[in-house]
Amino acid sequence: MSVSYCINPKCPHPDEIPDNTRDLICPHCSSKLILHNRYSVERLLGSGGFGKTFEAKDAEHGDTRVVVKVLYRNHPKAVELFKQEAKVLCRLNHPGIPRVEEDGYFVYWAHGSKTPLHCLVMEKIEGLNLVEWLQERGQQPIDADLARNWLAQLVDILDRVHQLHYFHRDIKPHNIMRRPD
């Protein structure tokens, strides 16, 4: 199992994990590198005010690539919203929403930490987000019919989410993935 990233927020070198790491323990901070006995984090995808997202492999499903969201701010309201997001995503079944398994939410304890890290594993949607896609196209405008189609898809997705009494708090081009044609 290849691991190349440690999610411990206090790790001094989280992205400098040798391929031959013994016992799957971080050589820099002594934290476990396999999350929930199955996910090996490979790289950082992005970060925000409350957490980070990573790409990982799921050993239980033939090394399928997944996204692991990690909540680094252990504030009660942030944790409550994070758990609510996990619960809602587990209940949704829509091609425009990443799938989350029933055990997709879990708590991880970094070595020596007194506070847990809340984690959410979801399907990795291949493709580019809208910012990347526009950059790849040289910032060329899109056709009005395509824009209407995309807006209709977004409204459908938000309608499904709102039916479960959940409000998406971070709609922006970086968070909208475009699946390959």
Contact 167, 84 (CB under 8 A): no
Q: Which ranges constitute the DSSP H helices of 111-165?
A: 130-136, 144-163
Contact 113, 8 (CB under 8 A): yes
Q: What residues contact residue 167 under an 8 Å CB cut-off, 6+ apart?
A: 161
Report d(CA 165, CA 84) in Å as an integer.
10
The total of other beta-carbon atoms located within 10 Å of residue 142's CB is: 13
Q: Which residues are catalytic?
A: 170
